[in-house]
Amino acid sequence: MKAKVLLSLILLCGYLTAPSARAEDAAPAAPAVPAACELPPYLLATESQLHKVADAVKAGKPLEILVIGSRSTTIPSSESSSYPARMEAILKEKLPPAEVVHVSVEIQSKKTAEEAAGTFVKLMEAKSPTLVIWQTGTVDAIRSIDPDDFRGAVTDGVAALQDAGADVVLMNLQYSPRTESMISAPPYLDNMRVVAQEHDIPLFDRFAIMRQWNDQGQFDLFSPSRGPELAKQVHDCIGRALAQFVIDAAHLGPAQQQN
Amino acid sequence: MTIADQVTGSTIAGTAGAKPAEAKPRVAAPAITLPAIGERELRLDLFRGLALWLIFIDHLPPNLLTWFTIRNYGFSDATEIFIFISGYTAAFVYGRAMLENGFVIATARVLRRVWQIYVAHVFLFTIFLAEISYVATSFENPLYTEEMGIMDFLKQPDVTIVQALLLRFRPVNMDVLPLYIVLMLALPLILWSMKWRPDVTLALSALLYAATWEFDLYFSAYPNGFWAFNPFAWQLLFVFGAWCALGGARRMSRILASPVTMWISIAYLVAAFYVTLTWYVPQLSHFMPKWIEQWMYPIDKTDLDVLRFTHFLALAALTVRFLPREWPGLKSPWLRPLIVCGQHSLEIFCLGVFLAFAGHFILAEVASGPAMHALISLSGILIMWAMAWVISWYKRVADKSGTKIKNAVGNADLAGGG
């Protein structure tokens, strides 16, 4: 018991001091990022690489990105503020001016991972992107799909996207504190992490990132407000984080970046 | 639920005095041995109380106190403790009833308990319905239009409510009671089999566990999916608890006392702790061989992963070793709040689920922030303690005024709820 108490205390101390240390890390690195979007670097760190994106940018070929998502990919009635649009803008800013970046969005509304994955072969034939960002999990969590089935579906989907010759980034659920007592996210988060690890593809941890913003008080995600302002700001920050994540995972050094 | 239950004996540790008078000539059952009546195992109450507090904290959104819950330090969490102790106490109480009064009466008493748990579950579901209906009508943040899809079931209450009564529709955080209902329903069979051959029963239980993994057995849920705690798998902990209560623990005491067991347990707990650390400090995962990760993940809670079960065993082995039954601290007033909560587990469990709902609600509607969070957690625990104290007090008074002879066979509370 004594040891456990000690352990708890050590972890607690770490927890208490961590935010301030993280903030210091983040501040000098990204002066252009609005304060509200700040994130500790570990939330955007990934070991997996995006080789095809790197090759395309180095060769000066256009960067074609496809975001496959669901209703939380967009903001009702303001498409241009949603995170795919914001990511496109930031990527254009950060990559060399000659680089052509085009982001298209495919919304699979109310579809589970399995249902979405079924459409991938046709989708990829039509679009043939360099990079696919597949955001999934929410519908499965709402319908409490068997997590094993979910993992199988995500695995199949990722394989289909890779077979079609694209780099893949997985994006998990939103952090939604208001529905936390009704939707059980952890099994789906865990399984997406497992698939990402097995396939060595980057996982954009939208859940942890949004929770970080909520916990640090940058955004009040409990807000019941009906206005689109909060959604716009959050999507702006997600778009920025996602752009940075793609650049880092493709190891596009300063040479390929504008700033 | 059992608040006004006068048939039951006292639950106060101090007054649960030894009553060997009732020691009717026991039906010959050399296969199992029960501990002497009246020696209330305060360690069980203590850890069940602890599990109740931890479950409450884990049901709240993550906050500072969440770091004190054991799931951050290893594979298993409070649910394992809870189910094991429930199996232990249920076997202890109803096993005795079966030896003394026979199979039929013991079964009747178990069913009465099952009914209480079922009613508690329906009560909690009603509260959940109230909460979700409120949120559905008051929360329209465009950031979360997709998540609001969870409210879709409100569109067909005719199906949903019936499915809830059938235990097939179970919202988040309401999974433990249905599991407990199923386990309790199986209890007469388990006890009957234990009376015959305890070791064979345990072996059968392990076999069912293995079959669950091999053949993918599960309970289906509504609208789709399956039970979040698979009873086919979790029964292993429950039966293991029952087996320990009926003499298994005593027979294992030599193994438990051996230093080899101790060191294996310590090594395993340290390794598990390291693995959990890699979840929070991803940099550490560099030092984790890929093949171990691939073999180990995912650590499945639904089917009680072997890693979770063994983690619980290691924790239990060390606890039994370093916290002897006679440890004077068990009588200290500092641990009373935990012990009292553990002694009224069904009531306190339900209260905990309700308080977690209420906590979510306050955080969403009134104020959020770490200070509010900590305040809610702490006041929740204080309320649980106060409620447990009131129940104890009421039982003591009711017992005094009632002229009924105390029934040393035990009481439903000892048999544990939820």
For A106-152, how does the pLDDT look when each residue is reduced to its tens digit (9 = 90+)? Answer: 998 889 999 999 999 999 998 889 999 999 999 999 888 888 889 99
CA atoms within 13 A on the CB side of B169: 23
Nearest residue of A to residue B294, measured between CA atoms:
A198
CA distance A181 to A175: 12
CA distance B396 to B12: 8
Q: Please, which residues bridge with residue A104 across strands?
A: A66
Using the beta-carbon criterion (under 8 Å), do B143 and A75 form an inter-chain contact? yes
Predicted local confidence at residue A257, as pLDDT:
59
The pLDDT of A72-83, averaged and rounded, is 87
Predicted local confidence at residue B28, as pLDDT:
43
Closest partner CB to A143 (pick from B62, B224, B368): B224
Nearest residue of A to residue B371, measured between CA atoms:
A215
pLDDT at B249 over 80: yes
pLDDT band of residue A23 (cuts 50, 70, 90) is very low
pLDDT band of residue B118 (cuts 50, 70, 90) is very high
pLDDT at B206 over 50: yes
Can you say whether the dihedral through the CA atoms of A89, A90, A93, A94 is positive or negative? negative
Contact of A159 with chain B, judged by CB distance below 8 Å, is answered with: no
pLDDT at B2 over 80: no
Contact of A177 with chain B, judged by CB distance below 8 Å, is answered with: yes
Closest partner CB to B135 (pick from A178, A215, A217): A178
CA distance A172 to A137: 6
Using the beta-carbon criterion (under 8 Å), do A182 and B294 form an inter-chain contact? no
C-alpha distance across the termini of chain A, in Å: 52
Q: What is the pLDDT of residues B298-339, one digit of tens each?
A: 788 888 999 999 999 999 999 988 888 888 888 888 999 999
Q: Which of B47, B68, B132, B144 to mutate to test the interface with A (most CBs of A within 10 A)?
A: B144
Contacts of B43 in chain A (CB under 8 A): none
CA distance B90 to B222: 29
Using the beta-carbon criterion (under 8 Å), do B147 and A223 form an inter-chain contact? no
The pLDDT of B123-151, averaged and rounded, is 82
Q: Please, which residues bridge with residue A167 across strands?
A: A131
Strand pairing of A63-69 and A131-135? parallel
Predicted local confidence at residue B82, as pLDDT:
92
Predicted local confidence at residue B361, as pLDDT:
81
When the pLDDT of each residue in chain B is averaged and rounded to a whole number, the result is 82
CA distance B134 to A170: 34
Q: How far is B402 from chain A (nearest CA, A)?
A: 41
Strand pairing of A131-135 and A203-204? unpaired
pLDDT at B408 over 50: no
Q: Please, which residues bridge with residue A170 across strands?
A: A134, A203
pLDDT band of residue B253 (cuts 50, 70, 90) is confident
CA distance B365 to A155: 39
The pLDDT of B135-153, averaged and rounded, is 80
Nearest residue of B to residue A200, measured between CA atoms:
B290
CA distance B182 to B114: 9
CA distance B81 to B71: 12
User: Residue B76: which residues within 8 A CB-CB, separation 6 or more?
Assistant: B70, B308, B309, B311, B312, B315
Using the beta-carbon criterion (under 8 Å), do A174 and B144 form an inter-chain contact? yes
Predicted local confidence at residue B67, as pLDDT:
76
Contacts of A142 in chain B (CB under 8 A): 147, 149-150, 152
Contacts of A154 in chain B (CB under 8 A): none
The pLDDT of A149-167, averaged and rounded, is 94
The pLDDT of A141-169, averaged and rounded, is 91
Q: Which one is predicted more confidently, B404 or B151?
A: B151
Using the beta-carbon criterion (under 8 Å), do B132 and A182 form an inter-chain contact? yes
DSSP, res A181:
T
ipTM above 0.85, yes or no: no
CA distance A191 to A150: 8
Taking CA atoms, B277 is separated from A232, B80, B111, in Å, by 35, 20, 43
Lowest-pLDDT range of A114-123, A141-150, B7-16, B270-279: B7-16
Ramachandran bin of B369, using left for φ above 0, alpha for ψ from -120 to 50, beta for the remaining angles? left
Q: How far is A7 from chain B (nearest CA, A)?
A: 9
Least Cα distance to B221 among B301, B276, B160 occurs for B160
Predicted local confidence at residue B33, as pLDDT:
64
Closest partner CB to A179 (pick from B72, B138, B150): B150
Amino acid at residue number A117? A
When the pLDDT of each residue in chain A is averaged and rounded to a whole number, the result is 83
Using the beta-carbon criterion (under 8 Å), do B363 and A230 form an inter-chain contact? no
